[in-house]
């Protein structure tokens, strides 16, 4: 497809010969699952329980509805729906129609959605009329006016939509009795466009093929030992790569298990579901894991979550919180260091506790190629094990370029096809990765380099500190100075800057790493998936 950097043919053939890429499209894969697991429950959304066979039937109806509406193979459709049956059937159905869904998050608004529609050249958009109490109809109207190529906007709503919009549920109804066959979908084509998690500007579009995506799903399901008894609670947005494929709900489908949808629930409700529904696997970002740990003593006093594997990823999980997850929730823990561009690292189910608590795991596939390079001299030979540097990677499920981004190609990818992750990592002697931060977030203070993650981890060890984030702020004399933001444990007194600096010094931290300023916030700002929003913090750092 135009705008996509393909895998080199020789490598593609190797991945096929190795049976990593099986030449099966996601819709064909799901049809096979529907035949195999037919009457088993695939999805639970509130009161609605849907079997594999029923879900496949619903996806087929959506696919026909889209075809009847004029959506053709390789057309892009931006998909923005909250967690639930509609999202799942529309995602599977759009792929079955041969279209390419662009996976937006529920929290995206006009600026992001407009950028996705334009960049993808989308012909359709699926969005809710209201979400989380916010009326999105004005947004939908603005998008229709702004994006010329957008032919249809399907609104998920209970009533009839206003003129000019289609009702999402009409799609499945229109398609239910049409006889049209789905177009064949090639497994080497782009299946979906994921969004980059980068914190700068509007996310870039990530073209993942059926072959590469399904490989990561199957391998992840196997690594996490999923089976037909697996019960997954979708707590994060189901379009995010973590919840979708690592192993996520697609991985659970692959094993014949059951996916339960949660949307915008408070930690207390999530704990109740985790316990009552005997959930075996769920994915969380650290801020959500922290919220669960904090709510547990009150809401889950004696029912520990023994049967649960809690996956934590998306941002660095510090040791203190990792320990609390194990001790307070009583579940198993897996760290997941992944990226929508491809590479996913997992701590293994049989890894020693220290590895699970202190590392971000190792690559999913033996065919993942990783190297750690000097961020200031990336052309030099890779750094030895143990040294901190930028992680670069290529492999059977990592993209070779962003969608339609010739201009950014050499900035984000090397000439030999490695993706420059922008992540600073170190590899232990055993081959596990420890994430040390992002290149762009390093603070250069008066000639010294500071890794914010290191300082943040020490700050969180203070008994009154709940969460911490350190950013660099421009400074006339030092180039940059360091500014720490903290939130305080409920009921604790706010420690002064001097107290915190003394605390860090007592922990043996070098003087230049001590924050120049400390500011308390009720809550640290979060990105749309719940990672700490460092850009927002940098902007808000009060000028001296």
Site for ligand OOB contains 112 (CB under 6 A): no
Q: Which stretch binds ligand OOB (CB under 6 A): 108-116, 151-159, 320-328, 332-340?
A: 332-340
x-marked contacts with ligand OOB along 359-378 as a string, rule CB under 6 A: -x------------------
> For ligand OOB, which is the closer residue by CB, 313 or 401?
313
Site for ligand OOB contains 467 (CB under 6 A): no
Site for ligand OOB contains 152 (CB under 6 A): no
Considering only 153, 340, 451, 455, the residue that binds ligand OOB (CB under 6 A) is 340
Element (DSSP H or E) covering residue 43: strand 41-45
A 10 A CB-CB count for 47 gives 5
Site for ligand OOB contains 486 (CB under 6 A): no
Element (DSSP H or E) covering residue 474: strand 465-475
Site for ligand OOB contains 343 (CB under 6 A): no
CB of 128 to ligand OOB, least distance (A): 22
Site for ligand OOB contains 257 (CB under 6 A): no
The helix/strand/coil state of 112 is helix
Considering only 113, 339, 356, 450, the residue that binds ligand OOB (CB under 6 A) is 339
Site for ligand OOB contains 67 (CB under 6 A): no
Considering only 26, 308, 336, 541, the residue that binds ligand OOB (CB under 6 A) is 336
Site for ligand OOB contains 335 (CB under 6 A): yes
What is the strand order of the sheet 100-103 is part of?
166-167, 152-156, 124-128, 76-79, 100-103, 190-195, 205-209
- Give the HSE-up count for residue 269: Cα atoms under 13 Å, Cβ half-sphere: 9
CB of 194 to ligand OOB, least distance (A): 7
Name 495's Cβ contacts closer than 8 Å, sequence gap at least 6.
462, 464, 465, 486, 488, 503, 518
> For ligand OOB, which is the closer residue by CB, 412 or 438?
438
> For ligand OOB, which is the closer residue by CB, 67 or 196?
196
Structure-token pair, residue 9: 């043919």
Considering only 210, 427, 438, 445, the residue that binds ligand OOB (CB under 6 A) is 438
DSSP 445: E
Site for ligand OOB contains 334 (CB under 6 A): no
> For ligand OOB, which is the closer residue by CB, 124 or 314?
314
Site for ligand OOB contains 25 (CB under 6 A): no
Distance between CA 399 and CA 225 in Å, rounded? Answer: 26
> For ligand OOB, which is the closer residue by CB, 67 or 360?
360
Site for ligand OOB contains 396 (CB under 6 A): no
Q: For residue 247, is the peptide bond before it cis, meaning its omega torsion is within 30 degrees of 0? A: yes
By the 10 Å C-beta count (0-12 exposed, 13-18 middle, 19+ buried), 268 is classed as middle
Site for ligand OOB in 311-330 (CB under 6 A): 313-316
Count residues binding ligand OOB (CB under 6 A).
21
Site for ligand OOB contains 528 (CB under 6 A): no
Site for ligand OOB contains 344 (CB under 6 A): yes
Using CA atoms of 387, 513, 423, 404 in order, give the dihedral in degrees to the nearest 10: -140
x-marked contacts with ligand OOB along 410-429 as a string, rule CB under 6 A: -----------x-x------
Distance between CA 136 and CA 125 in Å, rounded? Answer: 13
Site for ligand OOB contains 241 (CB under 6 A): yes
Site for ligand OOB in 171-230 (CB under 6 A): 196-197
Dihedral sign, CA of 436, 437, 439, 442? Answer: negative
Distance between CA 87 and CA 339 in Å, rounded? Answer: 22
By the 10 Å C-beta count (0-12 exposed, 13-18 middle, 19+ buried), 79 is classed as buried
Can you spell out the DSSP letters for 8-24? Answer: PHHHHHHHHHTTSS-S-
Q: Which stretch binds ligand OOB (CB under 6 A): 10-18, 310-318, 369-377, 485-493?
A: 310-318
* 533 and 526 Cβ atoms separated by less than 8 Å: yes
Site for ligand OOB contains 247 (CB under 6 A): no
Site for ligand OOB contains 452 (CB under 6 A): no
> For ligand OOB, which is the closer residue by CB, 93 or 338?
338
CB of 448 to ligand OOB, least distance (A): 23
Site for ligand OOB contains 532 (CB under 6 A): no
CB of 407 to ligand OOB, least distance (A): 20
Structure-token pair, residue 78: 């931006």
Q: Which stretch binds ligand OOB (CB under 6 A): 5-13, 337-345, 492-500, 508-516?
A: 337-345
Name 381's Cβ contacts closer than 8 Å, sequence gap at least 6.
none
Can you spell out the DSSP letters for 228-261? Answer: TT-EEEE-S-TTSHHHHHSSHHHHHHHHT-EEEE
Structure-token pair, residue 286: 């650290």
CB of 283 to ligand OOB, least distance (A): 7
Q: Applying CB under 6 A, which residues contact ligand OOB?
A: 196-197, 241-242, 246, 313-316, 335-340, 344, 360, 421, 423, 435, 438
């Amino acid at each position: 497809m135009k705008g996509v950097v393909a895998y080199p043919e020789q490598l593609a053939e190797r991945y096929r010969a190795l049976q990593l890429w099986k030449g099966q499209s996601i819709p064909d894969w799901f049809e096979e699952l529907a035949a195999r697991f037919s009457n088993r429950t695939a999805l639970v959304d509130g009161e609605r329980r849907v079997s594999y066979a029923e879900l496949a039937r619903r996806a087929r109806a959506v696919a026909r509805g889209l075809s009847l509406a004029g959506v053709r193979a390789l057309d892009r459709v931006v998909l923005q729906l909250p967690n639930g049956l509609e999202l799942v059937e529309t995602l599977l159905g759009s792929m079955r129609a041969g279209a390419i869904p662009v996976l937006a998050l529920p929290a995206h608004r006009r600026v992001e959605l407009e950028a996705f529609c334009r960049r993808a050249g989308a012909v359709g958009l699926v969005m809710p009329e209201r979400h989380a109490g916010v009326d999105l109809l004005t947004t939908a109207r603005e998008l229709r006016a702004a994006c010329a190529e957008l032919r249809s906007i399907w609104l998920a709503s209970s009533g009839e939509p206003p003129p000019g919009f289609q009702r999402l549920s009409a799609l499945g109804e229109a398609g239910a009795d049409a006889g049209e066959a789905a177009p064949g979908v090639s497994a080497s084509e782009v299946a979906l466009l994921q969004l980059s998690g980068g914190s700068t500007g509007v996310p870039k579009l990530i073209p993942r093929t059926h072959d590469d995506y399904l490989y990561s799903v199957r391998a992840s399901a196997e690594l996490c030992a999923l089976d037909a008894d697996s019960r997954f609670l979708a707590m994060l947005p189901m379009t995010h790569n973590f919840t979708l494929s690592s192993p996520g709900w697609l991985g659970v489908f692959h094993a014949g298990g059951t996916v339960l949808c949660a949307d915008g629930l408070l930690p207390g409700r999530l704990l109740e579901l985790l316990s009552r529904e005997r959930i075996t696997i769920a994915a969380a970002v650290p801020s959500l894991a922290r919220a669960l740990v904090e709510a547990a003593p009150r809401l889950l006093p004696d029912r520990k979550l023994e049967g649960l594997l809690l996956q934590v990823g998306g941002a660095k999980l510090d040791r203190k919180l990792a320990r609390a997850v194990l001790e307070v929730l009583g579940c198993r823990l897996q760290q997941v260091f992944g990226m929508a561009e491809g590479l996913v690292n997992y701590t293994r189910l049989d890894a020693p506790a220290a590895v699970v608590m202190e590392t971000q795991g190792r690559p999913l596939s033996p065919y993942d190629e990783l190297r750690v390079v000097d961020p200031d001299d990336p052309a030099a030979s890779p750094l030895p094990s143990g040294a901190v540097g930028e992680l670069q990677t290529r492999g059977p499920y990592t993209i070779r370029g962003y969608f339609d981004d010739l201009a950014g190609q050499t900035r984000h990818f090397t000439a030999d096809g490695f993706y420059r992750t922008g992540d600073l990592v170190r590899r232990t002697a055993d081959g596990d990765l420890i994430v040390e931060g992002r290149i762009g977030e390093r603070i250069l203070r008066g000639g010294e380099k500071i890794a914010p993650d290191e300082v943040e981890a020490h700050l969180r060890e203070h008994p009154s500190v709940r969460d911490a984030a350190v950013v660099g702020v421009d400074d006339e004399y030092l180039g940059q100075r360091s500014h720490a933001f903290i939130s305080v444990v409920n009921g604790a007194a706010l420690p002064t800057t001097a107290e915190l600096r003394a605390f860090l010094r007592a922990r043996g931290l070098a003087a230049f790493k001590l924050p120049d300023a400390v500011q308390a916030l009720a809550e640290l700002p979060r990105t749309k998936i719940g990672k700490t929003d460092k850009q927002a913090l940098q902007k808000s750092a009060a000028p001296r």
